[in-house]
Structure 1
Amino acid sequence: MRNERLKMMITAAMFAGIIAVAAQVMIAIPPVPFSLLTIAVMLTATILPKEYACLAIIIYILLGLGGIPVFAGMTGGPGILLGPTGGYILATLPAVICISFLLDMFGHNKFVAIGANMLSVVIILSIGMVWLKMVSGISWEGAFKGGMLIFLIPDLVKSIVAALVGVVIRRRLVQAKLIRATPL
């Protein structure tokens, strides 16, 4: 039991690293960069058991908060979390909780995963947009267009990819007994 928990904590840390790398693959679109952060977050939530998916996100956020350059553009520190993009980063935790909850409640299949991941996109973009508006002082229209609308279609596509790939990877990892299907 203890070895299993240690293995899963190490796995969560590895996923935090994957998220950090994915955040660096970006296209700068002011005011918020477009990155692969969201697909890595959705994959994490689709693959890992909920407590370890949440742990991966918390590790990622704490690393960045501590100044380690894990956020988009090799940035880190409290200034990033308090800046215009901070809401998107912080919104990844409720998004992961949502995905994990829905998958646990309705089953780890591609249809539930697609719906859960799409809902997580709405969560991330909504929280991020409100944060962007509050921090930057731009209009609601500007926040909606620049902080939500331009990312909606690409992120919904990423949510479908993350769901389909994540369900397959999870199934194979469970079959290989590399991760567990149920909580400890």
Structure 2
Amino acid sequence: MPSRAQRVTYSALFAVLMVVGAYLKVPLLQVPLTLQTFFVYLSGLLLDPTTAASAQAIYLLMGLTGLPVFAGPLVGPQAFVGPTGGFLLSFPIAALVEAALSSRRSRMSDVAGLLSAFVVIFGMGLTYFMAYFSKGEPVGVLTAFLPFMLWDGVKMALAYVVAGGVRKFVRQRITSGRP
């Protein structure tokens, strides 16, 4: 089990990775294609539930204070009441749920964790988005967000592969006795 200092370091690292993920984007309409959810998924696969959720909470607190860490044009509290606010608010919950489900480190638990995080992110994000625009037509919204959902499928697969590589690397370092 990681020490407290290690958990704080991991949380800070993933908060910074979230910022990087926000800036690696393809802007489309109201919601840009970013790598943010890739790092949410990766944190859920690699960190314990508390550390994964803490990393996302730190990221949101950075944005809440007005630091330009989010993908969209809104900063500070305005980002949370804008059209993508639901997606932002879902990140700590998604990371927590995913990490809790994938903590057994089996393929099935990892996949269950990834899919659960996806449901949390898009469930909260789309609900908030529909409420923001007062549109009562979920089918139209789902159709509009289909490219984002497909992009997240790619990011989940990539996170799964990267997490597997990181876990293998860490196991090899531990068994070899090298720092």
> Which TM bucket (shorter chain)?
0.7 to 0.9
> Match of 1:182?
none
Question: 1:26-175 alignment to 2 at 5 Å?
Answer: 26-73=25-72, 75-104=74-103, 107-140=104-137, 141-146=139-144, 148-173=145-170
Taking every aligned residue pair, what percent have the same amino acid on both sides? Answer: 29
How far is the alpha carbon of 1:73 from its aligned partner? 4.3
Contact 2:24 2:34 in 1 (8 A): yes
Amino acid at match of 2:84: T
Paired letter, 2:119 = V
Write the distance in 2 (CA, Å) between the matches of 1:81 and 1:112.
Answer: 31
Distance in 1 separating the partners of 2:40 and 2:171: 19
> Hey, what's the Cα distance between the residues in 2 that align with 1:12 and 1:62?
13
Q: What SS does the corresponding residue of 1:77 show, helix, strand or coil?
A: coil
How high is the TM-score relative to the length of structure 1? 0.84
Q: Is the 8 A contact 2:74 2:82 kept in 1?
A: no
Report if aligned partners of 2:11, 2:52 keep a CA contact under 8 Å in 1: yes
1:19 — aligned with what? 18
Q: Are residues 11 and 161 of structure 1, via their aligned partners in 2, closer, same or farther at CA, if it must alter by over 3 Å?
A: same
149-158 vs 12-21, which moves further: 149-158
How far the C-alpha of 1:99 sits from its partner, in A, is 0.8
- Matched residues, number: 173
Are the equivalent residues in 1 in contact too, given 2:48–2:100 (CA < 8 A)? no
Please state whether the residue corresponding to 1:70 is helix, strand or coil: coil
Unmatched runs of 5 consecutive residues or more in structure 1: 178-184
CA, structure 1 residues 129+15, in 2 after alignment: closer, same or farther (shift >3 Å)? same
Q: Taking structure 1 as reference, are residues 176 and 85 closer, same or farther at Cα in structure 2, changes over 3 Å only?
A: same
Once superposed, what is the RMSD of the aligned Cα atoms? 2.1
Distance 1:6 1:14 in 2: 12
